[in-house]
Structures are given as structure tokens and as C-alpha cells.
Structure 1
Amino acid sequence: MFGYIIPDQQAMTPEAQQRYRTAYCGLCRRTAALHGMAGRLTLSYDLTFLDLLLCSLYEGETPETVETGRCPVHMIRPIQWRYSGPTDYCADIGLALHYYSAKDKWQDDRSLPGLGYMKLLQARRQEAEARWPRPCRAITRGLAQLAEYEAAGCEDLDLVSGCFGDLMAELFDYKQDRWSPELRAVGANLGKYIYLLDAWDDLPRDLRRGSYNPLKSLSAAPDYEEQMREIFELLLAQAAAAFRRLPCVEDADLLENILYSGVWLKYHVENRRRQSR
């Protein structure tokens, strides 16, 4: 369920693209500093969005660090990166999410790559949990509840997507302060969207394999695609409405690009592919 909250690069100016890259590289840099080279494997666009959001909302509370140097991916020329207080939180949360995602793949499918990835991240996951016990408990609790629903074949979309939405709400609630209601609303609606878009994207494969998918029954309805589009639009509209209530100034254009355009990219690509068949 990673890689859906992405930027729309084509709709960005070159200057905006550069600012996004410095934030992405900053998260990568701090993830490597906290968790070694294995930590770099947990880097995601989704956590970059959360990092941008929290750094913008809490701008000025911790100093922003801007550095220039080389990295294993960009060996030829120096690159610039930036980060501030929330970046370490996002690095830890990203690692915990990837660890438990790998654990689920091992437990559900006996995936050997999942087992190897889980063991690779094991020690670092314990460090992240020690620093952030509340959100890490939310990850384990939420994924365990979701596994129960999936094992039971639950097709109550509000229930299963709401479970992942609640998990994401906890992760977005960084400081549990006056901005909690808005942050939780952004996280909850994006979490529901990610879960349902992932299910929508996987449905053809799951039908072929006979695997669990909460959309199986709904997909038989003649207006299935229209219903899904309406659900996606509603969830993203609610996330955007909550975001607009936050006093984000720094990188607001990047956040708006992701929320209003980027989140739709994978849906549009898959939808066009289906229609062309």
C-alpha cells in the first residue's frame, strides 16, 4: 500500500520539482542516518508527503537543516537536501510500516522475500518503537485488526477501509495538539483512499487467483466503476478540506499539487489501461 500519495511532476515548475527533491532526499538522508543503508529501502513518496506536511505546519519550531553532498544514488554531482524536526519521525514511522508490511506478507503468503526484509529491519524497528511507542502501537493494532477482517472475508468497505484510515490518522497526529482534528482527518481520509485504491487496483488479479478483496461483490454491480470514482472523490475532497484548515505556508504549493493532482495519477493510468482493453 505504498506509492499512491505521489507528486504530479508534470504540473510542477522546475523550482517546485527541485524543492520536492530536496525534501525527498532529506528524508532519505535522515532515514539512512537512523537506520543505515537498509533504512533507505523504506523510503516512500507517502512518507515524504507526511514529512512535507508536518515540516510546513510546524515551521520554525525546529531549525531547518540544508546541506549539499553526494549519495550512493547520485555519485556524479552533488545534491542538496533539507530536513527539520518531523523528518526523523517520518523516517522511523516509514521503517515501522515497511517492517510490519513485510511481516504480513510472510505470515499470510509465506513470502521468503517478506521474511528476509522483515529480518533485515528487525533491530531498527525496535529502535523506532522505543522512540515512538504510540504510533507504532497503532500500526501493530491496526494491521492486526485489518488481518482479522480480511481473514473473515469482510466486504464492509467502511469497516475495512476505516481500519486503515484509523491507523493513518494516528500516524498523522504527530504532536496530539490543537491541530490534531485536522491532521487526523487528512490521515484518515487518505488512509481509506489508499486502502480502497489498492483493492481496486488489485481486483483483476485477486479475481483470477481467488484471493480476498473487499470489492468482489460490489464489482458485479453495473455501476461499479462509477461508485468507486464517487467514493474516491469524496474521500479526497474530505482530506483536502481538512488540509485547507491547516495554516501551512511553506511548500503549500507542493502539498496542494499532491493532494489535488498527484493522488489521482495511478488511478488515471490504471483506468485508461482498463478502458483500452
Structure 2
Amino acid sequence: MFGYVKPRPDDLLVKEYAFYRAAYCGVCRAMRRETGFFSSLTLSYDIVFLAVCRMLLTDRHTCAKKCRCIAHPCRAKSCLTENEALTFAARVSAVLSYEKCLDDKKDKGGHKLRALLALPSLRRASRRARLPFLARETEECLSELAVLEEQNTPSIDAPAAVFGDLLGLCFAEGLEGEEHALFYEVGYHLGMFIYAADAADDYRADKKSGSYNPYVLLYPDGKGFDDGIPDEVKTSLRLSLVKLGEAIEKLPFKGDASLENIIKNTVYLGLPDRIDLLGKPKNKKQEKLYGGKHDRSL
């Protein structure tokens, strides 16, 4: 997962944004430690959001230290350590990246070549993740998506629901009872939004290449996609965020203001900001602020 699920930094307290950045570095280091250096190259803001959400279930006694890495060899940065949510997110990311790579291997062109080159390293990372049940569920969901794509399904809801199910399973992995239900609901509605948003963002590219995209089938004349996306698509995306907002309000924040503010900032401010940029060319400042392209298939 790449790029959409990021907070709006200007509306976080300084200490909250510092915590978020330390969590990002913490997930990266956890990926290198748990599933290998190559897996850390797949790090995304979406996985960091998963880690922050799952921190609600830990004892929340997080530790931070100054760390250096290949990306920042000269300047040490704060990095969260000793947190099981970071380890969990790293392992989930390895599974998703490997299963996505297997799916890309079936494609033609550049995606297939990149998948073939990355496959051995991602296979090792997935094995080290030790999440066989999630791996099977991920494979099944991606197979369902592939069938819908082969059938040229003219519906955004059907494939988005499958992707939502996949993220719901990721968020709820290893949980039981009420906790499983709460975190599955968050992941499900987030996945629905991500799939639909990315399909809208990719409209022109997919129409040109002939790739499957529900919106290309629903809007064959391209009306509303000349500079951005149609208003009705924006409205639909905002409605999906309403459901996501209802889901996060049920999470067990337990008075942890920093985690609560980061999560709510992401859902109520960061994701709506992305809607306004969909389908438009982004300058360097926007790319830095909101992240890179997201691939809805993982």
C-alpha cells in the first residue's frame, strides 16, 4: 500500500507529528529486523497507520531513541522501539507485498518484470513474517479481484468491497471478539476508500493503457475527469469516509490523546485532502506532503 493514508501535519501538535515520524522510522527498522532489508523498501504510510491503530492495543509504553540508517546516514532521527505494533505492521507488510508480487507476475509488461526480480526477496520476507493464515486470506482476496477484473465488472462497489475485506482482515489479524470486529470495520472502510480513490486517480492512465478500471467503464466519455474527478465521485468518496469515521470513533482510545489525534487527523483531514488532489497533476511540494502514487491492488 502506498501513499494515501497520511495525516495533515500542520494540524498536529509538534509532539504528535514527532511521534508519527518516529513511528514511521520504527516500522522501517522493524521491517529490516523482522523480514529483511529488502522488505523495508516497500514501507508505506498506510502500513504506518496500521501500526498506529494497533498501538491502541499495546501497553503504550513506547520507547524512542536516535537512529541512523542508509536513507539518513548523517543525521540521526527519533525512532520508536520495543513496540509489538511495529513488529505486527512489519510482518503484515511483508505478506501483502509478496502476495501482490505474485499477482503482478501474471501481468504483462513492466509490472511482470519488476515482480520477477523482486519475488525471491519478498518470498523470504513473507516466510519470515510467519502469518500463514493472513497469507492465504490475502491470496484469496487478490484472486477474487482478478476474477472481477477479467470480467470487466462495471461496478466500483464490488472490487472495492473485496479490497476492503482484505484490509479488514489485516487490521484484525490475531484479534478475537469485539476487538476483531472493531478493527476489521476500520480496515474494511479504509480499504473501500483506498480502492475507489485510486481508481479515480488512475482514470486517464488506465483508459489510455486499456487496464481495468471501474470508472472507465462507468464514465466511458471521460466527462468530469479532464481536470480532477467528477463531483459525484468525490461525494461518494466522502460518504465512504463518513463510514470510516464512524468506525474509528469506536476504537479503544482509553485516554491516549496523541494516538487518538493522529488517527482522527488522518481520517478527518488527511484523507479528505487527498480527494481534492485526485486526477490532478501534483507538484513536488504536494508529493512530499501527501506521498506518492498508491496502487490499489497493493
Q: Same fold (TM over 0.5)?
A: yes
Structure 1 unmatched ranges of 5 or more:
none
Other structure's SS at 2:3 match:
coil
Give the AA of the match of 1:58: L
User: How far did 1:13 drift?
Assistant: 3.2
Provide, for residues 82-122 of structure 1, a one-character-per-residue CA deviation record: whole Å limited to 9, x for no partner: 14112211101111111222222221125211211122211
The 1-side partners of 2:104 and 2:134 are apart by 21
> What does residue 265 of structure 2 align with?
257
Other structure's SS at 1:217 match:
helix
- Contact conserved, 1:26 with 1:81, CA < 8 A, in 2? yes
Identity over aligned pairs, percent? 27
User: How far did 1:66 drift?
Assistant: 2.6
The 1-side partners of 2:176 and 2:133 are apart by 11
Give the AA of the match of 2:96: L
Q: CA RMSD in A?
A: 2.1
Provide, for residues 224-269 of structure 1, a one-character-per-residue CA deviation record: whole Å limited to 9, x for no partner: 8122112111111111111111121241111111111112333322
Other structure's SS at 1:80 match:
strand
In the superposition, the TM-score normalised over structure 2's length comes to 0.84
> What does residue 74 of structure 1 align with?
72
The 2-side partners of 1:272 and 1:200 are apart by 10
- Contact conserved, 1:100 with 1:118, CA < 8 A, in 2? no
- Higher-helix-fraction structure: 1
> What does residue 228 of structure 1 align with?
233
- Contact conserved, 1:63 with 1:85, CA < 8 A, in 2? no
> What does residue 140 of structure 2 align with?
141
The 2-side partners of 1:199 and 1:144 are apart by 18
The 2-side partners of 1:230 and 1:266 are apart by 13
The 1-side partners of 2:195 and 2:14 are apart by 32
Q: Select the residue among 233, 246, 249 that pairs with 1:244.
A: 249
Regions of 4+ moved over 4 Å: 220-224, 271-274
Matched residue pairs, number? 270
User: How far did 1:36 drift?
Assistant: 2.2
> What does residue 118 of structure 1 align with?
119
Structure 2 unmatched ranges of 5 or more:
283-298
Other structure's SS at 2:78 match:
strand
Give the AA of the match of 1:215: Y
- Contact conserved, 2:156 with 2:214, CA < 8 A, in 1? yes
> What does residue 277 of structure 2 align with?
269
Give the AA of the match of 1:247: P
Provide, for residues 158-217 of structure 1, a one-character-per-residue CA deviation record: whole Å limited to 9, x for no partner: 211111111111111131232222211111111011111111111111111222111123
The 2-side partners of 1:272 and 1:36 are apart by 36
Provide, for residues 45-70 of structure 1, a one-character-per-residue CA deviation record: whole Å limited to 9, x for no partner: 00100100110x2131x753433232
Shift of the 78–252 alpha-carbon distance from structure 1 to 2, 3 Å rule, reads same
Trace 1:1-277 onto structure 2 (pairs within 5 A): 1-55=1-55, 57-60=56-59, 63-83=61-81, 84-110=83-109, 111-128=112-129, 131-174=130-173, 175-220=175-220, 225-248=230-253, 249=256, 250-271=258-279, 273=281
User: How far did 1:23 drift?
Assistant: 0.5
Provide, for residues 32-52 of structure 1, a one-character-per-residue CA deviation record: whole Å limited to 9, x for no partner: 111222021121100100100
User: How far did 1:155 drift?
Assistant: 1.7
The 1-side partners of 2:280 and 2:214 are apart by 22
Shift of the 145–68 alpha-carbon distance from structure 1 to 2, 3 Å rule, reads same
Greater relative CO, 1 or 2 (CA 8 Å, sep 6+): 2
Other structure's SS at 1:71 match:
coil
The 2-side partners of 1:80 and 1:123 are apart by 29
